[in-house]
Amino acid sequence: MDFFQEEISNIKINKNRNVFSLHKPLLLLLAISKVINGHKNEFHFVQIESELRSLLLRYGLKNTKEIKAHYPFVYLAGESKIWSCSVERMSLKNPDSATRGELIGAVGKFTDEFYEYLSTNNQSELIVNQILRQFWPFAYHSHILNELNLQKSILNNYKLNKQNNLDFRETVLDNYERKCAICFQSIRLADILIGIEACHVRPLEHSGVNDVSNGIALCTIHQNALVWGAISITTDMELIISKKLNGNKLHDFITSFEKSKVFSPRDKNAVLSTENILGYFGLTMPLFSE
């Protein structure tokens, strides 16, 4: 791992219990995407605030009513060798309660060394990939890339290496009798199981482990609903449904299962652990709401 990759790895992420705040990684991704698409190395807060706020709302992973897009501008500059800002943290009366108004004239930029690094041998693609893998579950990656208009420059070459631990997969599927733990679907074509996968309840990117107590078998619909925070599981193994869900066949596929018990394996060691369930709750997207 080189110097700048290590700097990315050491970015400080605020965490309240299991709730992560990914403001700094999103600012980095937005600025890098603009450089890749020809923007000069100078980012006026007022010019990118709207885009950054939109990204924070969708992918910030912090369940909060107030999006403070100005925070990463200052905080990232104060703790890394990759970003600088015209407004220094020490110049603010109270950085933790700084207002948007104090950052109206702020201009951020990559340090000259990091900007040169990004321009060398496609390092920007490697850094984007590193940031995505370090901070977000796999299911979010292509969505974030698309929103940053990187689908042409990176998405075609992006190695979407989904965690593929066959032992974990087979063990989870066996314990869940090769059926969805929510709807019990187990459709097969001859002996080939269709649309059922072993899923990590607590993502590997956020301290999840490849252990059966962190695994559950779900059909494609319920797997995606879980990943995006549309459904959640209580420590009593009951299903909770987001009231923000809408669309056709909602009752058939999701809301009819509200408060129903999720299937539990007969092997008690394979039942979802409380630690992993609570870890999942903390990572649920802001769109999840009771």
Of 23 and 280, more confident: 23
Tokens of 104: 């109206």
Q: How far apart are CA 124 and CA 174, in angstroms?
A: 41
Do residues 8 and 141 share a domain? yes
Do residues 11 and 143 share a domain? yes
Number of domains in the chain: 2
The per-residue pLDDT for 18 is 58
Q: What residue has token string 């599927």?
A: 173
Do residues 111 and 240 share a domain? no
**Domain assignment present for 131:** yes
pLDDT band at 126 (very low <50, low <70, confident <90, very high): confident
With 0.75 as the threshold, say if the pTM is over it: no
Domain stop point among 123, 155, 187: 155
**Domain assignment present for 270:** yes
The per-residue pLDDT for 173 is 94
The per-residue pLDDT for 210 is 87
**Domain assignment present for 202:** yes
Do residues 119 and 207 share a domain? no
Domain stop point among 130, 155, 180: 155
Do residues 138 and 231 share a domain? no
Domain stop point among 124, 155, 186: 155
Q: How far apart are CA 189 and CA 200, in angstroms?
A: 25
Q: In the chain, what percentage of residues exceed pLDDT 90?
A: 38
Residue 161: pLDDT over 60: no
Do residues 124 and 202 share a domain? no
The per-residue pLDDT for 286 is 41
66-89 mean pLDDT? 85
The DSSP annotation for 230-287 comes to SEEE-TTSBEEE-TT--STTHHHHTGGGTTPBPP--SSGGGSPPHHHHHHHHHH--TT
Do residues 135 and 190 share a domain? no
Range of the domain at 76: 3-155
Helical H segments across the chain, by residue range: 3-9, 23-36, 45-59, 71-77, 112-118, 123-135, 141-147, 166-175, 220-227, 250-253, 274-283
Q: Which of 5-19, 130-144, 178-192, 230-244 has the lowest mean pLDDT?
A: 5-19
Q: Are 80 and 7 in contact (CB under 8 A)?
A: yes
pLDDT band at 156 (very low <50, low <70, confident <90, very high): very low
Q: What are the residues whose beta carbons fall under 8 Å from the beta carbon of 116, sequence distance 6 or more?
A: none
pLDDT band at 262 (very low <50, low <70, confident <90, very high): very high
Do residues 123 and 249 share a domain? no
pLDDT band at 289 (very low <50, low <70, confident <90, very high): very low
**Domain assignment present for 161:** no
pLDDT band at 230 (very low <50, low <70, confident <90, very high): confident
Q: What are the residues whose beta carbons fall under 8 Å from the beta carbon of 77, sequence distance 6 or more?
A: 83, 84, 85, 88, 89, 108
Do residues 151 and 11 share a domain? yes
Do residues 191 and 145 share a domain? no
**Domain assignment present for 28:** yes
Do residues 144 and 248 share a domain? no
**Domain assignment present for 290:** no
Do residues 146 and 194 share a domain? no
Of 198 and 227, more confident: 198
> Average per-residue pLDDT in the chain?
84
79-106 mean pLDDT? 81
